[in-house]
Amino acid sequence: MKKWWKEAVVYQIYTKSFYDTNGDGIGDLRGIIEKLDYIQALGTTVIWLNPIYSSPDVDNGYDIADYQSIDERYGTLEDFKELLAEAHKRGIRLIMDMVLNHTSDEHMWFQESRKSKDNPYRDFYIWRPAKDGKEPNNWGNYFYEGKGSAWEYDESTGEYYLHNYSKKMPDLNWDNPRLKEAMCQMMRWWLDLGVDGFRMDAVNRLVKPKGLPDSPNPPTPPVGIYGYVVDRTMCANCPGIHQLLHELNQEVFGRYDIMVVGETGNVDAAIAIDYVKEERQEIDMVFHFEIAKNPVLKTAAQIKEIQRRWYHVVEQHGWITQYLSNHDTPRQVSWFGDDETYRYESATMLALMTHTHPGTVYIYQGEEIGMTNVDFPSIDYYNEKYTVGKYHTMVESGVDPETALNSLKKTSRDNDRTPVQWNSREHGGFTTGTPWINANPNYKEINVEKEEQAERSVLRFYRTLTAMRREHPVMVYGSYEQILEDHPELIIYKREYQGEAWLVICNFYGREQIMPKEALKELEKGDARLLLGNYQGGETTERIRPYEARIYRCR
């Protein structure tokens, strides 16, 4: 079925790092308003805002203290309304990040909850007495924080509360109908204000396993954390989660013309279908972690295998997402491409591949100018919880600091959180003050202003792709069939829709390839015409150059 959100290209904005207008070093809503024309010119049709609610900011806003107010560092509710109106004026919709798994410990609910065992908010969170004088189970927190446990002892009532993330982010208790009702009301409040949907944080973790059993899995390498087990599967996809999401759909999502995309770790295509199959009325699509945010770099063959499995979800009347980076991943050109010799070629190849696969496309801020990973000289420059937590755990358990830092650098979430590079002025023009996190020192070479003028411009390539999506429904609704599934370096596939047929060829590596005869045969079948390529001329049907990508229209 046709839907606006299937056709969308979403632009993800990490407000804190986007654009600062008042010189406090922190990106803000007015900064987004100023850049709306840029976002419109990019051809993106939806903005996803990472959390901008009031927050003590231990996890850059994923620790929410008040769901119905804007953090003052980002602006005011008036600024937000203006942003929404200005975006809508330009035909751009806006979705909010909805964090329902936990709140900040500074949220009023938690402040009340911890006061006494009979406080009306007690059961908004998950409290347990000690077990044999210790934590209620062996779960470790995902941030490797403190001594590692996912439980924090609270003196006032002598019990532990569960926090899968930071101890300043207590997990909510979704078995409590009062919590559910409060959350539904809150979400309807945003929707009534005019927002166009939600990105649902950790949405498959809301329901916890009955009885909160110990994890049977041993600690993950390279180092364990004091006997606790960081096992992210324990709270993923537990019985009851589908019923809950269906309820949220009936109470909230289904009542508006919105899009809902869930963030779901520990989900593969076979599991995902139950979340996104149209007739089940839960959510519209999920972000899986099989390609992006994977600690192991995937090969072309693996990526093809993953894409084939996920296309099945589309065939079964579900919907999927296409993205290679977000605020939790490395920069895609550094992770999958070559950010030195072939930065332009690999950035554009990855873009072309993403935009021509079935699914809603997501662009993470800065990706459209080919921003790269950062290489900070010491842990002091790093900010995000996971990198810092894991670093200290490693060093404390005897790993040499340099080795520890090097092992974390490539995948650190801070790679994606350095400020957007607007021009060659100090801090990449992000702020006139001191940025909350340093800019990538390469801002003089890589920035929006340069990209506007460059002959080989990643930015212009993105604009071409988004324009093509508006013109060619085959990019959205076309069937998808790979050829040469086992080719180790080339990713080649056909898309077809209402008489239009495309052949897409992506060289996933920096080596030249011979055009396989199977691809040639496809090209010779019709009257193939090159629609778009990422080299300026010189295409031959014999060779495919490093990171070259082409779209042919065969019919």
> Looking at 97, 263, 284, 290, which residue is catalytic?
263
Q: Is the dihedral of CA 21, 22, 23, 28 positive or negative?
A: negative
As a dihedral over the C-alpha atoms of residue 269, residue 270, residue 271, residue 276, rounded to 10 degrees, the angle is 70
> Looking at 135, 201, 368, 451, which residue is catalytic?
201
DSSP one-letter string for 184-240:
HHHHHHHHHHT--EEEEETGGGSSPPTT-PPP-SPPPSS--BTTBB--TTTTTT-TT
Q: Which of ligand NOJ, Ca ion, none lies near 202, with the C-beta cut-off 5 to 8 A by kind? A: ligand NOJ
Rg (CA), the chain: 24
Contact 367, 331 (CB under 8 A): yes
Taking the complex as a whole, the smallest distance from the CB of residue 48 to ligand NOJ amounts, in Å, to 11
Contact 515, 543 (CB under 8 A): yes
**Both tokens assigned to 289:** 């972690």
Edge-to-edge strand ranges of the sheet holding 529-533: 479-483, 490-497, 500-507, 549-553, 529-533
Residue with smaller CB distance to ligand NOJ, 56 or 473: 56
Q: Which of ligand NOJ, Ca ion, none lies near 263, with the C-beta cut-off 5 to 8 A by kind? A: ligand NOJ
| Residues 279, 87: Cα–Cα separation, whole Å | 31
> Among 9, 10, 13, 26, which residue sits at the site for Ca ion (rule: CB under 5 A)?
26
Residue with smaller CB distance to ligand NOJ, 99 or 324: 99
The answer to the question of residue 201 lying near ligand NOJ (CB under 6 A) is: yes
Q: Which of ligand NOJ, Ca ion, none lies near 282, with the C-beta cut-off 5 to 8 A by kind? A: none
Taking the complex as a whole, the smallest distance from the CB of residue 201 to ligand NOJ amounts, in Å, to 5
Taking the complex as a whole, the smallest distance from the CB of residue 142 to ligand NOJ amounts, in Å, to 8
Residue with smaller CB distance to ligand NOJ, 47 or 528: 47
Compute the C-alpha angle 10/15/20, nearest 5°: 130
> Among 202, 528, 544, 551, which residue sits at the site for ligand NOJ (rule: CB under 6 A)?
202
**Both tokens assigned to 132:** 């044999």
Taking the complex as a whole, the smallest distance from the CB of residue 24 to Ca ion amounts, in Å, to 4
Residue with smaller CB distance to ligand NOJ, 290 or 548: 290
Segment holding 393, helix H or strand E: helix 385-396
| Residues 60, 382: Cα–Cα separation, whole Å | 13
Taking the complex as a whole, the smallest distance from the CB of residue 270 to ligand NOJ amounts, in Å, to 22
**Both tokens assigned to 136:** 């209620």
> Among 14, 18, 48, 62, which residue sits at the site for ligand NOJ (rule: CB under 6 A)?
62
Q: Which of ligand NOJ, Ca ion, none lies near 57, with the C-beta cut-off 5 to 8 A by kind? A: none
How many C-beta atoms surround the C-beta of residue 267 within 10 A? 22
- Whether 263 is a known active-site residue: answer yes
Binding residues for ligand NOJ, rule CB under 6 A, total 9
> Among 328, 339, 345, 522, which residue sits at the site for ligand NOJ (rule: CB under 6 A)?
328
> Among 9, 20, 45, 468, which residue sits at the site for Ca ion (rule: CB under 5 A)?
20
Compute the C-alpha angle 509/510/515, nearest 5°: 70
- Whether 539 is a known active-site residue: answer no
The answer to the question of residue 22 lying near Ca ion (CB under 5 A) is: yes
The answer to the question of residue 165 lying near ligand NOJ (CB under 6 A) is: yes
The answer to the question of residue 99 lying near ligand NOJ (CB under 6 A) is: yes
Q: What is the DSSP pairing of strand 9-13 with strand 46-49? A: parallel
Residue with smaller CB distance to ligand NOJ, 231 or 548: 231
Binding region for ligand NOJ (CB under 6 A):
59, 62, 99, 165, 201-202, 263, 327-328
Query: Which positions are annotated as active-site residues?
Result: 201, 263
